[in-house]
Amino acid sequence: MSLTLHYHPLSSFCWKALVALYENGALFTPNLVNLGDAAQRAALLALWPIGRFPVLRDETRGETVPESSIVIEYLDRHYPGAVALIPEDQELALQTRLRDRFLDLYVHLPMQRIVGDRLRPADTKDPHGVAEARAQLRTSYAILEQQLAHGGWMMGERFSLADCAAAPALFYGNKVEPFGDGHPHLAGYLARLQARPSFARVLGEAEPYFGMFPREG
């Protein structure tokens, strides 16, 4: 099989790439990488020296593709399916990429900062950084609440790159900094994402590993 995705089933950025793969029924081999295993970590570093997930390897084209947004763009360009995740209209494509960046930078990364702090030893906790991350999430939730008042997908009627970005960011974000009662549009959107077959499949495959997710305290 030409495509191999090097990933971990709890990794939120891997979820983003998996949603895109499942949306279009792309044929690929999943390779679960345990970074705690020296040989597996070395193999990943040989592909992508940064050593972060996800990494897509395309043997047919001889390409190694890191970073979730780029993986999705690559799939949309070279292995398109029924769902065009990047709109053909250039202006709409630009707005879709902007929403993708917003979700990654202002929802996904603050969420990861909170989760990462839970893994720190007690004497190296960063309460100020966590407070900043929570404030950023609340600001981002308020912006998204307004943008999602139309009741559709992130960019309207069509599922896109932006929804692939939103699914893991909001799922985990709601775990570490719950939406609360003041964000009905955002909560409804997350429910629609979780019911989408592509994301429901990702969640189902990750469920056996949820016990590894670091809890607060």
The answer on 132 and 36 residing in a single domain is: no
CATH no. for residue 16? 3.40.30.10
Do the domain assignments include residue 144?
yes
Q: Each residue of 172-217: pLDDT tens digit?
A: 999 999 999 999 999 999 999 999 999 999 999 999 999 888 887 5
Do the domain assignments include residue 214?
no
Do the domain assignments include residue 110?
yes
If you write DSSP's letter for every residue of 128-175 in order, what string do you get? HHHHHHHHHHHHHHHHHHHHTTT-SBTTBSS--HHHHHHHHHHHHHHH
The answer on 110 and 191 residing in a single domain is: yes
Do the domain assignments include residue 208?
no
Domain range for residue 63?
3-78
Averaged pLDDT for residues 73-99: 95
The answer on 186 and 114 residing in a single domain is: yes
Residue type present at position 71? V
Do the domain assignments include residue 206?
no
pLDDT at 144: 98
The answer on 115 and 52 residing in a single domain is: no
Do the domain assignments include residue 215?
no
pLDDT at 211: 86
The answer on 183 and 107 residing in a single domain is: yes
Averaged pLDDT for residues 78-94: 94
Alpha helices in the chain (DSSP H): 12-23, 38-47, 68-78, 90-103, 109-118, 127-147, 161-176, 184-195, 197-206
Per-residue pLDDT band for 1 (boundaries 50, 70, 90) equals low
Q: Each residue of 121-166: pLDDT tens digit?
A: 989 999 999 999 999 999 999 999 999 999 999 999 999 999 999 9
pTM: 0.95
The answer on 157 and 111 residing in a single domain is: yes
The answer on 120 and 48 residing in a single domain is: no
Number of domains in the chain: 2
Averaged pLDDT for residues 91-114: 97
Q: Is the confidence at residue 70, as pLDDT, over 70?
A: yes
Q: Each residue of 33-54: pLDDT tens digit?
A: 999 999 999 999 999 999 999 9
Do the domain assignments include residue 174?
yes
